[in-house]
Each structure stands twice: as C-alpha cells, then as structure tokens.
Amino acid sequence: MSDENQSTVRVLLIDLWDGPGHELYTGALASALAARPELEVGLAINQRMDRRRFCGSIEFLPVRAPTGLGAGQWGRIALQPIELVRSLAAMRRFGPDVIHIVFAYPWYSAAMAFVARIAPVAVTVHDITPHHGEDSARNRLGISSAVRHAGAVFVHGEAARTEALRRHPSLDGRLHSIAFGGYEFPGSDAAGKSENGGNFGGDRGDRGDRGNGIEPEPMTFLFFGRLLPYKGLTTALAALEKLLIVHPDARLIIAGEGDISGDRGALERLGANVEIINRRVTEDELAGLMGRAGAVILPYTHASGSGVVATAAAFARASIATRVGGLVDMIEDGKTGIFVEPGDAEALCSAMSRAIDDPAAMTRMGRAARDHRRAEGSWDGIAEAHARVYQELRAK
C-alpha cells in the first residue's frame, strides 16, 4: 500500500432520518467531506432522503428505516431487526476506517457496542440535553451510548461543550466543539439586499430583492420549525398580545408541524394577527415566508444549537432569541440578533417593538447574521476539523 493510500481515511457517515433539516446539514457535511482528497466518504442514508443536496464522490448505502409511527410505518417497524442486520452487513462491506453517526438513530444507539467493533465511532450530539416534548427516552439512549462507546463526540459550540462535560465528565479528551454550519437556499442571496428599511418599513423600492420577489409585509415576524414545547410558542403569543397594544397591526406567522392545541385560546384571541401553517413547509414556501417577515423569533426554553438560526441567517434575517444553550454561540447580541431571557414575554415584546421601530437596524443585523454564519459556519472549515479527528481515531 502506498503512502497516499495509507493516509486515506474511509469514513462512513450515518443519518437514517429524512426531512429538510437532515438534507441541509448532512448534505452539506457529506459534500464538504467528499471534496477532501484524504477522505473516501460513504453514507448510510434513509432511502426516502432527497439526495439533491449531496454532491461529490459519495458512496450511498440506502436503508429502509422507519421515521414515524403512521399507519404506513408499522410494516417497516416489524422489519427493523432484519433491516438492522442488513445495514450492519453493508457497513462491513464498505470497510470503514471510521464510522460517524451524524444523527443518532435508535438502531445504532442500541447496538453501539457492535457498531464500534466494525470501526472506531464518532457521534455528533446535536442536543446534549433532550428537548421538552420529544421522545426523551430515545434521546437519552443516543447520548448515553455515545458517552459509553464513541471514540469522539462532536457538539456545537463552547456552551454545549461546557454542558456536556458538566453532565458527562468521562467525555474529557473525546469531546470536540464544532460550529453549526451555515445553510444556503435557492434565492437566499437576494434576501438581504434592501437598503431601505428592511421588511418592517413601508418603502416599496425593495420589492423583488427579498424572498424570491415576495413583497415585504410591515410589522411581520416569523416563528417556524417543529412546533415542540421547548420552542416557546406560548411565550411568543403572550408577547404578541402585549405588542398589539402599541402596534395593533403587528403579525406573527407560525409555520411548522406539531401540536398547537394547548395554545388554542391565545390563537383565537389573536385572530387575524396570527397566520398558521401547521405542517412542514417546502423550501419555496420558506423563501416566501422569509421574504414577508422582518425577523425570526426563537423564545426557546433551551437549545444546544439551532437550524432555525442558520436558516434565518441564510436569508439575511436577524433572530430575536432567548439567551440559552448553544444559541449564545450562534448569535451576537445587538450585531446579528437580539437576546432576551427565556420565558419573559414582556422582554420579547420589547425586542419585537424595537425591531419595528428601527427596521434599518434589523436589516443590518440580518446581513451581519448571514456574513457571520458563512464565516463561522464554513463547511470547508468544519470538514477540515472532522477530518483531523477521523485521522486521530484511525491512528488509535
């Protein structure tokens, strides 16, 4: 074997979930890794995943993996043991030097001891503390298996790294902080070009510069993503009710799948000041929603990192967010967004009012957010950091 071949690392990435967040994150990471000459990249992927965001020389290992509990999934769930065995056999055939579980999946969390016998394992833990409203047992299993068996664990930012070491001191020496990568969408470059007052103002001169030609709507905010309890929708609605006293035309767009029945009373009171799209939105729809809104609000109770912040930045939108977890590493207060304290509807209302009163500042913050995420979240730099860890794992 030549020196060149000896230095090449065969890395197998695993992400068996489907959906836009996985296409964005895993697609960007796999493509950036595949561009590196010292790596040969394979990807065990859900067969339903849209691969259009993946580029470069990637060897795909499609897997029939259930990702929900709908009626059509029960047959797949019954076949899980068979599919797990098949996927492990495919992994062995690929012959990885390193296995990187990009998003934890119950199969591999439960069978991590067996996976680690195939090759050293790295795991990205996107949320070191399970979110409220999610399957905490599944997430706890993913975290505990990574702590026990992974040779390397990636988390997003220093805040997440500090929390991980506080909860799991045994990770010392195996824990690596990496930035949350920047996202790009078709048409997102046009999202921050207006010089005249952002999306809150009444200047129509910026029509066509944002959101693929969608005309901006004054005093409009966007709350999007999976609608889980930790996202703080109740706080957002309470803040909007307060905001309407001063700005009676302010509006909130709520876009995403999830149960919002617990907030039905507030939604009924707010009426036409709230627009609800209670399902997963497409990329084209998201571009339009970003074009209409002047800022994204994230009144989270906790967070390790956020694809919502990365998405908002891609469209040159500032984030009004709570000062929790990994968000402190993704947002610069007063420069790329505005921080408020969690659960404080009055403070959130004040920040939203500030955004309406000074739209030019929000435009500057949105552009700064886009530029900051592209620099800090450069996938080339993220891929280089991963590659160094892969080399170290193979050498052990």
Q: What is the CATH number of the domain that holds 145?
A: 3.40.50.2000
Same domain, 283 and 383: no
Report in angstroms the alpha-carbon separations of 76 from 64, 89, 115, 150, 280: 7, 18, 22, 28, 22
Same domain, 156 and 9: yes
Same domain, 226 and 146: no
Same domain, 106 and 238: no
Same domain, 146 and 275: no
Same domain, 135 and 222: no
Instruction: Give the pLDDT confidence score for residue 238 in this predicted structure.
Output: 98
Same domain, 319 and 388: no
Same domain, 306 and 347: yes
Residue 214: give the domain boundaries: 188-376
pTM of the shown model: 0.83
Its sign, for the CA torsion 118, 123, 129, 130, is negative
Same domain, 280 and 264: yes
What mean pLDDT comes out for the span 181-209?
50
What mean pLDDT comes out for the span 127-134?
68
What mean pLDDT comes out for the span 159-170?
92
Same domain, 315 and 346: yes
**Domain count for the chain:** 2
> Does residue 255 carry a pLDDT above 60?
yes
Same domain, 151 and 209: no
Same domain, 214 and 253: yes
pLDDT digits (tens, 9 = 90+) for 46-57: 998 888 889 999
Radius of gyration of the chain (CA): 22
Kindly report the length of the chain. Answer: 396
